Amino acid sequence: MNLLIELLAFAVAIGVLVVVHEYGHYSVARLCGVRVLRFSIGFGKPLFQWVSPKTGTEWTIAALPLGGYVKMLDERETGAPIAAEALPYAFNRQSVWSRIAIVAAGPVANFLLAIVLFALVFATGVTEPAAVVAAPAPNTPAALAGFDGGETIVAVRSVNGGESEPVRSWSDLRWKLLGATFDHRRIVLSAKDAHGTSDFQLDLRGITEKDVDDDFMSRLGFEPGGGKLTVAGVQPGSAAQKAGLVAGDRLRAVDGMPADNATAFIAYVKSHAGKPLTLQVERGRQGAQGAHATQGAGKFEDIRIVPQSQRDNATGQQIGRIGAELATQVPSIDVRYGPIESLQLGARRTWDLAVYSVRMFGRMIVGEASLKNLSGPVTIADYAGKSARLGPSAFLSFLALVSISLGVLNLLPIPVLDGGHLLYYLVEAVTGKVVSDRWQLVFQRAGLACIVALSAIALFNDLARLIHF
């Protein structure tokens, strides 16, 4: 069933993205007076064909649904001479600015789709983790700013003044910190706790783009906090069983520090292999049995536990494990915006993601980021299925993210991609001379080699993730 969901979600995602991208080319080509011969979804053998009696365009669905194309009337791509009366409708006979508009329309359509999808998510509302922070790791920017854990971040502004921007959720906080990190700014975070609202100055000037990855929030010292960490199960013979932990115990603290984040708790346990820890647990009437059974809200107990030392297969190092299954219930908030604000936020989120994608690709080129960040169709299908199972908002957000990636990829100045053709036309616009067919052929071969290499790396990464290589 999961495989079927992944395949259906992948087919829907690819179908929507390809149709939108190619329709961008098609619609602007028609506006510029270019005759479109074929609009194809997929490659290879046609499975369905229909010719429009009005425009003469052949609409096709082909066997290999991993892309698509729009074929326009072009003197350079036809084997037979074009009739004189049809020449004004040929792509190559259009002005250089019309050709630029037609080629750029595909990626622009992907960006517009992302804006609309994000706006729908923001307008319909989504339940997200609240911007409550856990106790930060020592010497991280969050710790140096003065966060103790348990604070709810409500606003952010520049340290030099300016308008304060509200922080509505953990996702909202992440994006605001991402933008400030790229700009190497000092910012002020306003946060509420039991004592009121306080300001925390966060210095991001020392954070380089090399540090910006999927774990960059953890690098800054920010982890979701305020959650309820509960023991869901205990493995027989484990350190947890020997210490007396049972299913239903709520973990309140470890060595005096709040235990409200599973990731931070597990990392702390891993770093204390063979070293005794003190857990503060809360037990209620559904917790332990016998002497531990209580009535009412529960009672607190301190439990001494020594994590067992085990070899980590990924790193080869000895890490601590206690053998307990954890369940986390994090505080959440329903986030909903008005129509105008949703469009504004959708445009801003699309811009931020596009800039982030370009910077990440640049870092991979210069060796500052791993090529493991490249993903192929297998990973996309996997995430399509996972997001579809999470609900409409998650799937629409995933679709918007992939649409942005497709738009950015096609704008890269690599021949055979839209960006390569745009580069040719920009050179023509500046110099007044068309790039010669000989040089275009050389660049086409080089560009094709780049695409094949990138595809091979992405496919290798997909397989490596599947077999945990």
| Residue 431 Cα distances to 19, 93, 435, angstroms | 34, 18, 10
Cβ atoms 102, 89 nearer than 8 A: no
Q: Could you say which DSSP state residue 288 is in?
A: S
- Per DSSP, the residues of 151-166 read -EEEEEEETTEEEEEE
Calpha distance 156→187 (Å, rounded)? 7
Q: Identify whether 75 is a catalytic site residue.
A: no
Alpha helices of 53-140 — where are they, by DSSP H?
A: 96-124
Q: Indicate if the alpha-carbon torsion angle 95, 428, 21, 89 is positive or negative.
A: positive
Q: Of 22, 151, 223, 282, which residue is the catalytic one? A: 22
Cβ atoms 50, 58 nearer than 8 A: yes
Structure tokens at 122: 């923001």
Residue 40: phi and psi, rounded to 5, are -115, 130
- CA angle, corner 414, sides to 354 and 373, nearest 5? 50
User: What residues pair up with 187 in beta bridges, in sequence order?
Assistant: 158, 202
Cβ atoms 277, 307 nearer than 8 A: yes
Q: Kindly calculate the radius of gyration of the chain based on its CA atoms and give it in whole angstroms.
A: 28
Calpha distance 259→308 (Å, rounded)? 20
Q: Of 394, 390, 391, whose CA–CA distance to 402 is shortest?
A: 394
Cβ atoms 94, 76 nearer than 8 A: no
User: What residues pair up with 254 in beta bridges, in sequence order?
Assistant: 257, 279
Question: What element of type H or E holds 226?
Answer: none
Q: Could you say which DSSP state residue 416 is in?
A: T
- Per DSSP, the residues of 335-404 read E---HHHHHHHHHHHHHHHHHHHHHHHHHHHTTSS-GGG---HHHHHHHHHHHHHH-HHHHHHHHHHHHH
Cβ atoms 148, 135 nearer than 8 A: yes
Kindly list the catalytic residues. Answer: 22
